[in-house]
Structure 1
Amino acid sequence: MKVTPLSIPDVLLIEPSVFDDSRGFFFESFREDIFRKETSLNVSFVQDNQVSSRRGVLRGLHYQVPPYAQGKLVRVIHGEVLDVALDIRKSSPAFGKHVTNILSAKNKKQIWIPEGFAHGFLTLSKNSEFLYKVTSFYKADFEKSILWSDPILNISWPTNIDIITSPRDSKSEAFSKAYIFEEL
């Protein structure tokens, strides 16, 4: 496993060791002891989620507030997405900044997104299946969302895709009105 801090160093790109041969491939998508050793993180995952989306579906930018804030380990098992993590930790030097990455079944990359980040993704391929592990259970009353298209965020979403959002995501809060993590 290769772990690379991204431009916001708390967000980690994780590339598994993939064993390819004429039959196909094998890799460990998660192994706690190696994950802890390579990332220096001591997290416990309590729930796995799987999402299927068609081209143009944008989900996010979602997060949960304390005491149910979530760290996420995300990956794609079918198709390709543009993944976005937005830092909403007031004390962070990267507050209000974001990182983007292409995750796909082909590249097998994963992203670790810690608590204190809003997260979203846009399906670039015909369809996608997105898996993610979380460190806290889903609690609807603690879930929030930031408007994906808020111009203050300056996220470069592809312009060649007609974006489809849920009614809830299209009415998300502006970044200026979002819950901000004071401390973690």
Structure 2
Amino acid sequence: MKAKFLFPVYIIGPSIPYFQLDQTSSASHNNNLPDYFKWLDSQPKESVLYVSFGSFLSVSSAQLDEIVAGLKNSGTRYLWVARGDTSKIVQEYGNWGDFGFVVPWCDQLRVLCHASVGGFWTHCGWNSTLEAVFGGVPILTFPIIWDQVSNSKLIVEDWKIGYRVKKGIGVDNLVTRDEIAELVKRFMDPKK
């Protein structure tokens, strides 16, 4: 870029599209909203755990089973973006009425800024991390690979705005449904 332009170029991204978000953030006044926003509108303030593990990388089948069972056992409401695994989750466990909503995609930034969302369980990709910080949502970190590990460290140890779900990296570090249920309960209701 420096070779092409005579003026200085500064890299600042990725950045949050704040002005676009502000123009259309009035969810309750729009009848054309996706079902997941209508569901979020019907939930109590800060009661929903938003779950998304990114676009490309995934957890093992055994870990997915533990996560699903742990969430269900926690009794916590959740909105889960499960891209490739959506059909398996819905077939095996279903959308659990008022407690759970599974979608293949959502407008993550607007979800993280929604009043009913009280936490975010993430793989710690940089965009997701920035959007959670912008939305002021506490984070459960579940790094899978690469920079996600250092992003998790920033969230938990440096910024102190989240908790780590698993201590190590790799498929051999299975977090059990009981551990998940207990952690999610404590995370979503710190008074317990």
TM normalised by structure 2 equals 0.30
Specify which structure has the higher proportion of helix.
2
Higher RCO structure, 1 or 2 (CA under 8 Å, sep 6+): 1
Specify which structure has the higher proportion of strand.
1
TM normalised by structure 1 equals 0.31
